[in-house]
Amino acid sequence: MIRKIISIALLILGLAMAVYGGFFRKFLVYDNLEKFDRLKNVGITIKIPGYENASESFTPESQWFSEPDVVRAMTFEGIKRYKDEKLISNYPDLRMLKGRIPCPT
Amino acid sequence: MEKIRLKVQVISLALLNLGLFQWQTICFPVLNCHSCPTALFSCPIGILGQFVGLGLVPLSVVAVVAITGLTVGRFMCGWICPFGLAQDLLYKVPYVKFDIPRWTRFIKYLIFAGLVVAVPIFLSPGFPLYFCRLCPVATVQSAVPWALINGTADTLTLSVRLVILFLIVVAAMGHRRFFCKVICPLGAILSVTNRFALLFPERNTNCTGCGVCNKICPMETSKEKGSFGVYDKAPEECISCLDCKDKCPADSIKLWG
């Protein structure tokens, strides 16, 4: 009986975590300025599917990612911590975190 | 029951690796590498390691694993996990069979704490000792396929991975569910909640204490007569394969705990 009470209590906690994590939790993720600048300085055009402009037209941006979005980005190691503890994209542009297939580990 | 389980495992393997679409915002609580070109869901261990490496806790992932553990326990290991199927098949290969000491079961908890949590936190998920860099499932499902697709790979890394995979394959041929018992970090998490799982084998008063259940238990939960190993001795190890229910001469085992 005690086992079942503990089980149900933990289950309710788990459901609450799933709902909060899955639907409400957000992370602010920034463009990778270092990679952006490095590529811009050497005149490389960053090609993103559906976005074919030259690198000069990029402006660094931030975007709120839901936890499932971050989970997906983690499948290809798409997000990291910057020196100032901000979350930044591992790729020059945040849009590169969308629609990308996972990399080999 | 064993045949039904085999069919379910094969169907699960196919469904988890359909390759028709990817739904990797969601973790599925089995060891099925999300870097596999055809994987449907994310691997909770891989995602957990990446998150803790950033100093974050993936609430939805922890919740999925916890809810699974609290409802069906390690049923996922016994019936759904593709690497569980691989080990069940490998054990059928004629090869020298051997026992392992009971203390080796604790290694999986150390692997979880060390290689899945501590290495990403204190070093980096890119560090070669991070679990995903060594995981045999990732070698089969990701490292080898991507090496073939790309036609190139880091030879040293791939060689180390293949050696680890080879050793685990040999161990799985000699000892039933070796990886699940000794190494699997997801099994370690589910083991903690297994004791509280709603779906769990339990014996009734018909039990004669013959000990058949313990003899045929793939997880070797007990060797004593008179005890029901998966319940009395090592509930954390039970994978709910129901071989004990199938073979019980007194029909004394039911699934709902």
- ipTM, 2 decimals? 0.84
**Integer Cα distance of B243 and B91 in angstroms:** 16
**Mean pLDDT across chain B:** 88
Contacts of A1 (CB under 8 A, 6+ apart): none
User: For position B219, what pLDDT does the model report?
Assistant: 86
Set of chain B residues whose Cβ sits within 8 Å of the Cβ of A105: 33, 35, 46, 132-133, 135, 138, 142-143
Set of chain B residues whose Cβ sits within 8 Å of the Cβ of A67: 58-60
Average pLDDT over residues B200-226: 80
CA angle B164, B130, B239 (to 5 degrees): 65
Which pLDDT band holds residue B23 (cuts at 50, 70, 90)?
confident
Tell me, yes or no, whether B136 and B243 share the same domain: no
User: For position A14, what pLDDT does the model report?
Assistant: 93
Q: Are the beta carbons of B59 and A101 separated by less than 8 Å?
A: no
The total number of structural domains in chain B stands at 2
Tell me, yes or no, whether B15 and B65 share the same domain: yes
Residues 47-66 on B with a CB inside 8 Å of A are: 47, 50-51, 54-56, 58-64, 66
Domain edge (last residue) among B172, B194, B216: B194
Full strand arrangement of the beta sheet holding A26-30 = A62-66, A26-30, A87-89, A79-81
Beta strands in B76-178 (DSSP E): none
Element containing residue B82 per DSSP (H, E):
helix B82-91
Whether the pLDDT of residue B27 is over 70: the answer is yes
Which pLDDT band holds residue A43 (cuts at 50, 70, 90)?
low
Tell me, yes or no, whether B171 and B233 share the same domain: no
CA angle B54, B132, B36 (to 5 degrees): 110
Domain edge (last residue) among B194, B218, B244: B194
For residue B220, CA distances in Å to A9, A20, B243 come to: 30, 39, 12
User: For position B159, what pLDDT does the model report?
Assistant: 92
What's the pLDDT tens digit per position in A53-75?
Answer: 545 555 667 888 999 999 988 88
Average pLDDT over residues B32-51: 90
End-to-end CA distance of chain A: 44
User: For position A19, what pLDDT does the model report?
Assistant: 95
* Closest by Cβ to A14, choosing from B51, B67, B198: B67
What's the pLDDT tens digit per position in B103-158?
Answer: 999 999 999 999 999 999 999 888 888 999 999 999 999 899 888 888 887 888 89
SS3 B132: helix
User: For position A50, what pLDDT does the model report?
Assistant: 47
For residues B245 and A55, the model is more confident at: B245
Name the minimum distance, in Å, from the CA of A20 to any CA of chain B. 8
Element containing residue A2 per DSSP (H, E):
helix A2-19
For residues B73 and B185, the model is more confident at: B185
For residue A60, CA distances in Å to A33, A43, A67, B34, B91 come to: 7, 16, 22, 29, 55
For residues A67 and B59, the answer to whether their CB atoms sit within 8 Å is yes
**Integer Cα distance of B80 and B103 in angstroms:** 26
CB atoms within 10 A of CB B208: 12
For residues A14 and B70, the answer to whether their CB atoms sit within 8 Å is yes
For residues B132 and B45, the answer to whether their CB atoms sit within 8 Å is yes
Q: Are the beta carbons of A77 and B25 separated by less than 8 Å?
A: no
User: Minimum mean pLDDT among B128-132, B177-181, B215-219: which range?
Assistant: B215-219
pTM listed for this prediction: 0.86
Expressed as residue numbers, the domain containing B230 is 200-256
Q: DSSP labels for B8-50? A: HHHHHHHHHT--S---TTSB-SS---TTSTT--SB-HHHHHHH
Which pLDDT band holds residue B90 (cuts at 50, 70, 90)?
very high
Domain edge (last residue) among B176, B194, B212: B194
Measured in degrees and rounded to the nearest 5, phi and psi for residue B190 equal -65, -30
**Integer Cα distance of B195 and B197 in angstroms:** 6
**Integer Cα distance of B125 and B137 in angstroms:** 17
Tell me, yes or no, whether B207 and B185 share the same domain: no
User: Does residue A86 belong to the interface with chain B, where contact is any CB pair within 8 Å?
Assistant: no
Tell me, yes or no, whether B229 and B170 share the same domain: no
For residues B206 and B168, the model is more confident at: B168
User: For position B82, what pLDDT does the model report?
Assistant: 93
CA angle B233, B236, B237 (to 5 degrees): 85
Can you give the length of chain B in residues? 257
Tell me, yes or no, whether B244 and B153 share the same domain: no
Whether the pLDDT of residue B3 is over 80: the answer is yes
Tell me, yes or no, whether B190 and B210 share the same domain: no
Whether the pLDDT of residue A51 is over 50: the answer is no
Set of chain A residues whose Cβ sits within 8 Å of the Cβ of B50: 74, 77
User: For position B109, what pLDDT does the model report?
Assistant: 95
User: Does residue B17 belong to the interface with chain A, where contact is any CB pair within 8 Å?
Assistant: no
